[in-house]
Amino acid sequence: MSTEDYLAYHDTEWGRPVHGDDALFERLCLEAFQSGLSWLTILRRREGFRSAFAGFRIPAVAEFTDADKERLLADAGIIRNRAKIDATLANAKVLAGWDKGELDALIWSHAPDPATRPAPRTLGDVPAVTPESTALAKDLKKRSIRFVGPTTAYALMQACGLVDDHLADCVARGGGR
């Protein structure tokens, strides 16, 4: 993956609204796998993750067995971190019991009012944690979702368009080129 690929992700995907339980489950999982790593590492392996985790279809991942876990731990196309894999499988099992649209509704209920968020002028103006991300992480944990703290929740909020943290002078701010 080149810098051009990363730029394309930034310009066309990051910060754009994402809806749908499976799509949000994918982003939640990828943000958890990214914890402690660079996003580029995850982006380079995203297709490998999608293949390994059945396209992040919640019902399919919820059915994964111990044999699937061993397959994942041996898959060089993903990050082979046991705790993150365990969390992904456990989260799918939890989410499989939720009503359709419940994950989407829960996550989006924590989106701040854009009118209260001025466009960041510098990277230093972009927070790593907000009261909304702290509340989202708390709500997810209360519902037995694992490996999501306030920083991971905020990264999810940024990636899925709950907040637009493109800098004020960024060409991608507010919808892209």
Apex 61 CA angle, 24 and 91, nearest 5: 60
Length, in residues, of the chain = 177
* 98 labelled catalytic: no
* 6 labelled catalytic: no
Please choose, from the candidates 54, 139, 43, 51, the residue with its C-alpha nearest in 3D space to the C-alpha of residue 92.
54
Query: 163: which 2 tokens?
Result: 């907040």
Site of tokens 């999608």: 50
Q: What is the distance between the alpha carbons of residues 153 and 166, in angstroms, rounded to a whole number?
A: 17
Residue in 9, 13, 63, 98 annotated catalytic:
9
Residue in 14, 26, 31, 132 annotated catalytic:
31
* 70 labelled catalytic: no
Task: Kindly report the number of other CB atoms within 10 A of residue 70's CB atom.
Answer: 11
DSSP H helices, 54-143, are 58-62, 66-73, 82-95, 102-108, 131-142
Helices 131-142 and 150-159, axial angle in degrees (round to 10): 110
Catalytic residue positions?
9, 31, 39
